[in-house]
Amino acid sequence: MCEGDSRLQRHYEAQLVFKGTSSTIQNELLDCMYEVYREEIAKQVDNTSFVAVQADETTDVSCKSQMVIVLRYIMPDLTVTERFLEFVEVKDKTGVGLSNSIKAVLEPLKLKEKLIAQTYDGAAVMSGNVRGVQTVMKETYPNAQFVHCYAHQLNLTLQQLCSARMSILKVFFADLTAFFHFFSPVLQNVLQLLQRQHRDAYHGHRL
């Protein structure tokens, strides 16, 4: 933080006791900065006429499923602005569950009429016309038209093109997909449960 704020750096260097290097203090400082950041976004969104939401869910290295939510809107000077809004830990991966997570983040911003677009990948749970996220979101935000993420479209196009032209690449992408499904969060939870049971049984046998 000091690299971008000379006054903060001078204050930090002048302190003989407080250094703020513990993880607890740093997390508290980050939380304070994030609150100020959220307040500024709320002000900007309040002064714009149209807002779009982008969301994408993935599983991190700790096997936690997280969804990133990003807002895109037009400033009064007609500048298109894109801002990260929040990371959400996802428990329910159904269309309704993911929609509820997005709605919970958007609700304080009061975007009932302003939300005119929503962008996700092409997975059925996100883009489905029955109970997909884009369909459930329209129940609350009727003006939010679904737009398939162009980055995901490009990725799928390149992947299918490579797979169709070269058999070795087809096998490569198939293996990558298989690895993802094999090491899914559900399997990880099962493996962790079995590991705990084995450890408890081992310690019980030693006692």
**Pair 21, 66 in one domain:** no
Average of per-residue pLDDT across 179-207? 69
Residue-averaged pLDDT of the chain = 81
Laid out side by side, the sheet with 65-74 consists of: 80-89, 65-74, 51-59, 115-120, 145-148
**Pair 59, 91 in one domain:** yes
Q: By residue range, what is the domain housing residue 87?
A: 47-148
**Local confidence band at 194 (pLDDT 50, 70, 90 cut-offs):** confident
Model confidence pTM above 0.95? no
Residue position matching structure tokens 């329910």: 92
**Pair 144, 92 in one domain:** yes
**Pair 74, 138 in one domain:** yes
Long-range contacts of 101-104 (CB under 8 A, 24+ apart): 101/67, 102/53, 102/55, 102/67, 102/69, 102/133, 102/137, 103/137, 103/140
Provide the 3-class DSSP secondary structure of residue 56: strand
Where are the strands (E) in the chain, listed by range? 51-59, 65-74, 80-89, 115-120, 145-148
**Pair 52, 95 in one domain:** yes
Q: What is the pLDDT of residue 147?
A: 87
**Pair 8, 92 in one domain:** no
Residue position matching structure tokens 């369909």: 135
**Pair 185, 130 in one domain:** no
Average of per-residue pLDDT across 179-200? 72
**Pair 134, 79 in one domain:** yes
State the total domains in the chain.
Answer: 3
Structure tokens at 134: 């884009």
Q: What is the pLDDT of residue 22?
A: 74
The answer to whether 128 touches 95, Cβ cutoff 8 Å, is yes
Amino acid at 130: V
Least confident of 40-54, 59-73, 135-149: 59-73
